[in-house]
Amino acid sequence: MTRDRRRGYWNRAKETFSAADRRRYQSRWLARLVAHAWAHAPGVRRRLEHAGLAPGDLRDEASLARLPVIKKSEMPDLQKADPPFGGFCTVPLTRVRKIFLSPGPIVEPMGPEVGAWHLETCLYAGGFRPGDVILNTYSYQLVPAAHELDEALALLGCTVVPTGVGNTEQQVAAARAVRATGYVGTPSFLMTLLKKAEENGGERLSFEVAQVGAEPFPESLRNVFRDQYGIIARQGFGTADVGMLGYECPEASGMHLVEDAIIQVCDPQTGAPLPAGQIGEIVATVNNPTYPMIRFGTGDLTVVTDEPCACGRTSPRMLGWRGRADEVTKVRGMFIHPRQVDEVAARAPGVARFHVVVGREGHQDTLTFRAELAAGTDSGAAAAALESAIRDVMKLRGEVNVVPPGSIPETVKKITDERKWD
């Protein structure tokens, strides 16, 4: 059977909201969620009271910023003080279907509502369709992702084979036995299964679609899945605490934000929302009435764009995962991250070894990109390319310093901060 895996929406009305309609929709559920949490989640109520806020003060995305961010790293202590959920669960245990224990350790409830992670939108946009038979290779032990995916796949009308982690040969046999059309799991394990199936001239697997996650997904690997195996592979971004926040559409040009989460890109130190286009920490508020995480700091960095997408979905997009918030350095009011340093180097020809030095002259931060070039590289062209890449990627002006081979130690950190503040 061939299916159109590119066109259509899981929920056309929501996914094509105008900006004003999206704001109205989000303000509506936010008001309901905050009032519900105030009444039933003492942990949330304590946070509001501590900030001197009443439920009516958090009406929309802008006013949300009045509530200080709660860091993921605070959760274990809060939960120890008020077990098991730190006062963040709004329903009695009789209505909690499952309890998960994620690394931290952080204890998470799965409440009575179906599809609280909003994964259906993500799976449909990624090409999953009713009638697909899916190998779910995520871990079923203790952590939520596999269980939440199963629920969303059931809503879509897909059939799940809960294979879990490992046992490569058994998984290949299972995929063949049921003629599996889809896969969820890590991209590297998908590659392992495809290779295993081909050993000794074996019959290829019948996968057509894959949702991958939990590790980086290089474009080169996506291309191998598409060109050599005919598999549409898409990724999403989420965490065990807040569920799915963003997903790739057929265009695969960033991850659309889900309508049932309010994502703010914030200063990792102050928690204040940053202007569009800047790198910052993902702070999420999610429409999950059982476990209402409000202004939850994920510790992950991203950049969000609201440029239109060719797929027709109108939500802003996260432009990839840009590292962890505790690795950023602030230069002239902008955050820079080691991955941006890599990105700058990749945009210029012949850059062999490199690092960034942040210094201070008078009252002004300085940024110097030091680079060693491969033999035969035109240093003028490389320096010009680096300078414009610094502006594009870091939104800053920086100096480029081409240095002789051997000047930069092999073990150097990507960003060296030489500023003295005393």
Interacting residues with Zn ion (CB under 5 A):
249, 251, 309, 311, 313
* Minimum CB distance to Zn ion smaller for 130 or for 308: 308
- CB 103, min distance to Zn ion, A: 32
- CB 226, min distance to Zn ion, A: 17
* Minimum CB distance to Zn ion smaller for 41 or for 311: 311
* Minimum CB distance to Zn ion smaller for 187 or for 250: 250
* Minimum CB distance to Zn ion smaller for 256 or for 353: 256
What's the rounded Cα separation, in Å, for the pair 378 and 408? 19
335-356 exposure pattern, b = at least 16 Cβ within 10 A, e = fewer: bbbbbbbebbbeebebbebbbb
* Minimum CB distance to Zn ion smaller for 118 or for 353: 118
Asked if 38 contacts 240 with a C-beta cutoff of 8 angstroms, the reply is: no
What is each CA distance from 368 to 347, 349, 418, in whole angstroms? 16, 18, 11
- CB 312, min distance to Zn ion, A: 7
Asked if 64 contacts 56 with a C-beta cutoff of 8 angstroms, the reply is: no
Sequence-ordered alpha helix ranges (H) in 4-118: 12-15, 19-40, 42-50, 61-64, 75-81
What's the rounded Cα separation, in Å, for the pair 42 and 89? 9
- CB 3, min distance to Zn ion, A: 19
What's the rounded Cα separation, in Å, for the pair 401 and 372? 9
360, with CB counted inside 10 A (0-12, 13-18, 19+), is middle
* Minimum CB distance to Zn ion smaller for 70 or for 209: 209
- CB 224, min distance to Zn ion, A: 22
- CB 247, min distance to Zn ion, A: 9
Q: Cis before residue 338, ω within 30 degrees of 0?
A: no
* Minimum CB distance to Zn ion smaller for 39 or for 276: 276
Sequence-ordered alpha helix ranges (H) in 328-367: 338-346
- CB 143, min distance to Zn ion, A: 29
